[in-house]
Amino acid sequence: MRSVTYINGQSNQWSNERIVVGKQYVTNAKERRFSKGRTALVAAGAVAGVLAFIASRSLLGLGSDRERGPGGGGEPQ
């Protein structure tokens, strides 16, 4: 619950204090919950995306040196 709206139209934010309200006084109650399956799927996708980004940028230093080409610089001797 995020807020309480009174009969006169005023409302207050709820700050986690315990309240008891009889069923006869409640006209509209809603609850939202995360789906465990969807949350796990999104988390796995995010991890896979981060790992793919790291692998594509060789951020761990595990890539081969063949991509860099010949090294050196300066005049040949």
DSSP 11-72: EEE--S------GGG-S--------HHHHHHHHHHHHHHHHHHHHHTTTTS-S-GGGG----
pLDDT at 39 over 90: yes
Distance CA 14, CA 29 (A): 14
Distance CA 30, CA 1 (A): 8
pLDDT at 5 over 60: yes
- Tell me the pLDDT tens digit for each residue of 8-28: 989 888 888 887 888 888 888
Rounded mean pLDDT, 27-41: 91
Q: Domain limits of the chain?
A: 34-61
pTM score above 0.75: no
